Amino acid sequence: MDFRLSDDQRALRRGVRELLAGRFGREALRAAVDREGGLDRKLWRELGDAGFFALRLPEDEGGAGLGLPEAVLVFEEVGRVLLPGPLVATHLAAGSVPGAADGTAVVTAASELPSLVQHFEDADTVVVFASDGVPHRVDVPEAEAVPSLDPLTPLHRLPRPPLTPGPPPGAAVLLTAAEQLGSAARSTEEAVRHAKSRVQFGRPVGGFQAVGHLCAEMLVRTETARAAVYAAAVGGDLTEIAGAKLLADEAAVRGARDCLQVFGGMGFTWESDVHLHLKRALLRARRWLTTARAEEIQAQALASAF
């Protein structure tokens, strides 16, 4: 099986990266932090016009007719730039919830985090993915705002579960893993850039063995997670997806922590973006499939093999 990207897939990834560089650069990221994660509806519609949410819909339904491997490449790019919003839920709701496919509606999921819902005030529709894997629209008139670890992801606590959720859709888990992968790659790049440019005692800090080892370990974790995420996108097996989520969570969380170490005190300042990657990575690690549940799936698969 050939896992190398095709020319069309490379072009798709390049196009999304250029779009996000033009519309969600560092100034836009900081503006989003100042809005406490409030969504830019104009950008949301632009993403819809670009086919972001309708990527996997059939062409006769207005989509691009692409598959999960291509969606993984796109979500890896949004993870690199920390684009806020219920991107996965809206993407999964395209074709089921009016306005989701073209970005005129924001859809959030009440089954993404235990008892919590993200971007509740910005959302036009709240859905729950029940046991049939289909998004079911639910009526949630009010919810209590609670402090969020990630300044770009406002959270609300629901007064009660609106519907018993089913198992998390495999696509939702994998696309979240892809976001983690993008964040891990960006943290690695930023750590290497800083290690090469920051000079201490007359030489770049990357020349010190301890710093060099941190960067090397970040790269190994990122590339290992990339192989697992890409393979799971081709196979679509839930056990593989759970394994990919575990590896991507580790690459993103440990990568951001190591990046903080490479940056030193500067990385802990509000002006640095490194802490934003760490906070988002910690939150994503609890979305759709927790570490404990992913480990259970892996253990059950191993037990059934003997």
C-alpha 241: how far from chain center:
14
Question: 118 forms bridges with which residues in the sheet?
Answer: 155
Residue 183 has pLDDT above 70, yes or no: yes
Closest CA to 211 of 194, 228, 226, 189: 194
Please report where in the chains the tokens 């000079």 appear, as a residue.
199
Neighbouring C-alpha atoms within 13 Å toward the C-beta of 278: 16
Higher pLDDT, 256 or 158: 256
Closest CA to 289 of 248, 252, 236, 234: 248
Closest CA to 24 of 103, 91, 86, 81: 81
Higher pLDDT, 289 or 76: 76
Of the ranges 97-101, 108-112, 167-171, 203-207, which is most confident? 97-101
Check residue 98 and give its pLDDT: 93
Find the angle CA(242)-CA(219)-CA(76) to the nearest 5 degrees: 50
Of the ranges 135-139, 164-168, 181-185, 263-267, which is most confident? 181-185
Find the angle CA(31)-CA(36)-CA(41) to the nearest 5 degrees: 65
pLDDT (average), residues 164-190: 91
Domain segments of the chain: what residues? 7-157, 170-305
CB 148 within 8 A of CB 276: no
Confidence of residue 272 (pLDDT cuts 50, 70, 90): confident
**What is the pTM assigned to this prediction?**
0.92
**Residue 251 and residue 272: Cα distance in Å, rounded?**
20
pLDDT (average), residues 295-301: 87
Check residue 74 and give its pLDDT: 97
Confidence of residue 164 (pLDDT cuts 50, 70, 90): low
**Residue 227 and residue 224: Cα distance in Å, rounded?**
5
pLDDT (average), residues 265-286: 90
User: For residue 246, which phi and psi values (nearest 5 degrees)?
Assistant: -60, -50
Strand order in the sheet with 155-157: 116-118, 155-157, 144-146
Residue 1 has pLDDT above 90, yes or no: no
**Residue 139 and residue 70: Cα distance in Å, rounded?**
33
Pick the CATH number of 7-157 from 3.40.50.720, 3.40.50.2020, 1.20.1740.10, 1.10.540.10: 1.10.540.10
**Residue 70 and residue 29: Cα distance in Å, rounded?**
25
Check residue 165 and give its pLDDT: 65
Residue 236 has pLDDT above 90, yes or no: no
Mean pLDDT of the chain: 90
Closest CA to 88 of 42, 56, 41, 116: 56
Check residue 162 and give its pLDDT: 66
Helix or strand holding residue 125 (H, E): strand 125-129
Higher pLDDT, 167 or 280: 280
What would the pLDDT profile of 68-123 be if each residue is shown by its tens digit? 999 999 999 999 999 999 999 999 999 899 999 999 999 999 878 878 899 999 99
Residue 163 has pLDDT above 70, yes or no: no
C-alpha 119: how far from chain center:
15
Helix or strand holding residue 239 (H, E): helix 238-263
Pick the CATH number of 170-305 from 2.40.110.20, 3.30.460.80, 1.10.10.60, 1.20.140.10: 1.20.140.10
Residues in the chain: 306
What would the pLDDT profile of 2-49 be if each residue is shown by its tens digit? 678 899 999 999 999 999 999 999 999 999 998 888 899 999 999 999
